[in-house]
Amino acid sequence: MTKMLKADGLDDAIIGVAHRCGEPTVVVYDIQKSIEVLQKNLNCNLWEAIEYMNFNVMGAYMGSYTPIFFEKVSGIEGLKEWVEHNED
């Protein structure tokens, strides 16, 4: 069986698996759904759940089997808009 790591408590936010050439298959989570699950599980407000998600979940690298967190954009225009608002 393929080794896959999961984020604790976020099973309801799993949306699939991801494949990359030369890399192991990993679990994929929906970011928005993950935040909703965290907000419920941690009994916290939206901003606390977002902070927890960013720091404790997406900020945790566990090697090549680390899950991926998916954020939907709509086509090339949505991608351009996302890049424009998220440039460092």
pLDDT at position 3? 82
Q: How far is CA 59 from the centre of its chain?
A: 10
Given this model, what pLDDT does residue 24 score? 93
pLDDT value, residue 88: 66
Q: What is the pLDDT of residue 26?
A: 96
Task: Determine the residue type at 34.
Answer: S
pLDDT at 73: 87
Q: Where are the alpha helices (DSSP H) in 31-74?
A: 31-42, 46-52
How much is the pLDDT for 2? 63
**Average pLDDT per consecutive 10 residues, the chain (88 residues; last block may be shorter):** 84 96 95 97 96 95 93 91 86
**pTM, whole model, 2 decimals?**
0.86
